A and B are shown apart, each in its own frame.
Chain A
Amino acid sequence: MSENEISLVALFEKSTDTAKAIDDLHTLGIPDDRMVVMTDVPYPEQALGRTREWSSLPYIVLAGAIVGLLIGLFLSAITPHLYRLDVGGHPPVGFPPAAVITFVFTMMAIIVSTFLGVLWEMDFPSFGPAPYHKAVTDGQLAILIEFSPDLDDKVNQVLKANQADYIGEPEMISL
């Protein structure tokens, strides 16, 4: 945030108030990317009047799946040829075992890439000091707003008008 920006945190009891406050902040000209809403419950998209965010997770998973598939194919179809040993009259690479191995490795890669992907997407782990308020996990809805100083009064007004329980400077907490 730039130096002459003000950041505020406002806590609300009710989601309706929060949604209203966000709408009002929008009308004040504060865009979505200057607001962060923190809740203890996953609210449905648009419940608070904000648009959906684009996520690259499916692509990460897809890439993971392809990598897993390739590993699986390598292990099940290539390695038997690196040191050829015959077993039980089977061909060195049989479809059923190769299918099982390829499948399982693909699934493993999907799982791992999903996990890593979501951490990547969320910038986790990020323990560094971040604006936060502990009341969030007690059911309060928090809006974190950044705006230029000239909107200070208006923002406070809007927030108060929407029954904000608390308005104040956000605490920078080492999470």
Chain B
Amino acid sequence: MSESEVLAYPEDSSAAEFEDRLLLAERTSSEINQAVLQPMFRTSWKFWALVIFLSLLVLWGLFAWGYLIYWGMGTAGINRPVYWGFFIATFVFWVGISHAGTMISAVLRLLKADWRRPITRGAEAMTAFALMMAGLFPFIHLGRVWKFYWMLPYPNNRLMWPNFQSPLMWDMVAIFTYFIGSTLYLYLALIPDLAMARDHTGKWRQKLYRVLSLGWRGTEAEWHKLHRALSIFSVAIIPIFLSVHSIVSWDFAVTIQPRWHSTIFAPYFVVGAIYSGLAALACILVIVRKGMQLQEFLRSEHFDALGKLVLVAGMAWVYFWFAGFIVEWYGNEPVTRELIHEEVAGSLAPLFYLQMSANLIPIVMLIFKKVRTTPWLLLVATLLVNVGMFTERVLIVVGNLQRNFMPFNWGEYSPTWVEVSIVVMTFAGFALLYTIFSRIFPYVPVWEIKEGRLRYTVRRIGRLLVPTAAEIE
């Protein structure tokens, strides 16, 4: 770009561009309110058709679950030695997805990355719903789900407490903590917007918002305390978020099953979770933006930034994957060798190459800004990531169980309709919750955007107009 070209830019249009990017365009508060509230009322037949379709999928999945409970785990495709199948793989996948919300809203909040503002709520909601879906699987996969309460630590006349040496206990506690944390985090940040919605709606919605906004008036003291609480949350939830997927990885790593028994599993899982979670978020944002006509708030620069994050997480994932793989390959231990052979050239090869290509191609794609800023290309890339990461979970859980120290007891696994229905149920359930959430609660955090407007201005430095942030937080 030559200097003359820069000079050729008319000053006004340049300023407008920045304002646009930072949502600084001249819009009154109430206009922004309406812009966020209006999509919540847009419920066309397509919306209801989607809701009904998803509900049917969920109902079918619930039937499958009932069938599973009534007849036993044998209706699923799991067997000996593949004791864990799609259920646990999907569980790990959903827990992974849930990591993006914290990444966006806690990490980026702490780092004061202001582009996060319009997407935090979407990310937090995703976390909460993904955890709900993940939380179902420990129940689904229990052989005697009606006895699940034996895992709860409560005083009883049997004097029996749960075994806290079991990673499943850590898992249960950590996921519960993370679920509480992320839900409360979502809720706290939602209160001012609920108050806003309360003031601008009627009928049942107003009643709902009234109750949920707890009497928020927006006084200085309230804002101050809310800020304080959110800061504590941001700090506190990051170790939780790291611990959750580490613990999930320890479910596998504490066993002496070859390829599971790995010290790199915890960071590898966390990075993988961030990778898949961010990709899922990008995916959802593209869809929601289209579905709710939120182009005004969710702009290409958000996708650009998100795409970059996905790219970074993806590269980190490759690094961790490779760091694990090279050591296992080099060690050449018999069972590990068998497992790697199975993946690279055996019955798991199709899955393995699907996994690798679906995880690597998006990394190449996302290098290009064009991909990051074009919604459909971004959608393709991030969907690929999710396919890849789901496959990766299946390979880790199912693939590695197919081979063990006793060749006599090796086995193969393929899911049955019950497992597929239940897995689909959680995807449908997630989509359903998300769809309903987007019509009931302000999808874009209004107050955060308004706050952002306060902080930013466009300044002229020499010939250039640049956005600057005021250090006021």
Enumerate chain A interface residues (CB-CB to B < 8 A). Answer: 36-45, 47-48, 50, 52-53, 55, 57-58, 61, 75-76, 79-80, 82-83, 85, 87-88, 90, 94, 97-98, 100-101, 103-105, 107-108, 110-112, 114-115, 117-119, 121-122, 124-128, 130, 132, 134, 136-140, 174-175
Task: Categorize the interface residue count of chain B.
Answer: 35 or more
Cβ of A42 and Cβ of B188 under 8 Å apart? no
- Whether B170 is near chain A, meaning CB under 8 Å from some CB there, is yes
B225 touches A39 (CB 8 A): no
Selected contact of B215 from candidates A40, A41, A124, CB within 8 Å: A124
Cα distance, A174 to B196, chains bound together (Å): 15
Check if A108 sits within 8 Å of B451, measured CB to CB: no
Q: Are A38 and B180 in contact (CB under 8 A)?
A: no
Q: Residues of B contacting A115 with CB < 8 Å? A: 184, 188, 229
- Which residues of B sit under 8 angstroms from A58, Cβ to Cβ? 232
Task: Output the nearest chain B residue to A110 by Cβ-Cβ distance.
Answer: B236
B321 at the binding interface (Cβ < 8 Å): no
Task: Report the minimal beta-carbon distance from B292 to chain A, rounded to whole angstroms.
Answer: 21
Docked CA distance A48–B237 (Å)? 32
Which residues on the B side are within 8 Å of A117 (C-beta)? 229
**A-B contact sample (16 more), CB < 8 A, given A42-B227, A79-B164:** A38-B219, A40-B192, A40-B196, A41-B447, A41-B454, A42-B224, A44-B472, A52-B224, A57-B228, A61-B232, A94-B165, A112-B180, A119-B214, A134-B199, A139-B28, A175-B217
* Contact yes or no, B33 A111, CB < 8 A: no
Q: Which A residues are in CB contact (< 8 Å) with B180?
A: 108, 111-112
B177 A104 Cβ-Cβ under 8 A: yes
Q: Is the CB of B229 within 8 A of A118?
A: yes
Verify A126–B195 contact, CB threshold 8 A. Answer: no
* A138 in contact with B220 (CB, 8 Å): no
- The listed residue with most A CB atoms (<10 A of its CB), out of B217, B219, B453, is B217
Collect the chain B residues with CB atoms within 8 Å of residue A112's CB: 180, 184
B455 nearest CB neighbor, chain A only? A44
- Is the Cβ of A111 less than 8 Å from the Cβ of B177? yes
Q: Return A117 CB to nearest CB of chain B, in Å.
A: 7
Q: Is B473 an interface residue (CB 8 A)?
A: yes
Residues of A within 8 A of B222 (CB): 122
Residues of B within 8 A of A134 (CB): 199-200
CB pairs A–B below 8 angstroms (5 shown): A36-B219, A37-B219, A38-B217, A39-B220, A111-B184
Q: Scan B206-235; emit 1 where CB is below 8 A from any A CB, else 0.
A: 000011011111111111111111001100
A-B pairs, top 10 by smallest CB distance, nearest first, are A139-B29, A79-B161, A118-B229, A138-B30, A108-B177, A125-B214, A44-B472, A42-B223, A126-B215, A137-B196
Contact yes or no, A47 B153, CB < 8 A: no
Instruction: Tell me how far the C-beta of B261 lies from the nearest C-beta in chain A, rounded to whole angstroms.
Output: 14
How far is it, in angstroms, between the C-alpha of A42 and the C-alpha of B230 when the chains are bound?
13
Cβ of B247 under 8 Å from chain A: yes
Instruction: Flag if A87 contacts B165 (CB, 8 Å).
Output: yes
A114 touches B232 (CB 8 A): yes
Which of B28, B226, B229, B473 counts the most chain A CB atoms within 10 A? B229
The answer to whether the Cβ of B369 comes within 8 Å of any Cβ in the partner chain is: no
Contacts of B170 in A (CB 8 A): 97, 100-101, 104
Q: A47-B472, A80-B164 are in contact. Are A57 and B220 (CB under 8 A)?
A: no
CA distance A113 to B237 in the complex (A): 13
Judging by beta carbons under 8 Å apart, are B233 and A114 in contact?
yes
Measured in the bound complex, the distance between the Cα atoms of B176 and A104 in whole Å is 10
Task: Please determine whether B163 and A98 come into contact, CB atoms closer than 8 angstroms.
Answer: no
Do B243 and A104 touch across chains, with their CB atoms under 8 A apart? yes
**Whole-angstrom distance from the CB of A160 to the nearest CB of chain B?**
22
When chains A and B are docked, how far (Å) is the Cα of A115 from the Cα of B214? Answer: 13
- Contact in complex: B173, A111 (CB < 8 Å): no
Closest residue of chain B to A174, judged by CB?
B210
For B219, list chain A residues within 8 Å (CB): 36-38
Q: Does B450 contact A (CB under 8 A)?
A: yes
B240 contacts partner chain A, Cβ-Cβ < 8 Å: yes
The answer to whether the Cβ of B174 comes within 8 Å of any Cβ in the partner chain is yes
Contacts of A37 in B (CB 8 A): 219-220
Select which of A52, A57, A108, A140 is within 8 A of B176 by beta carbon.
A108
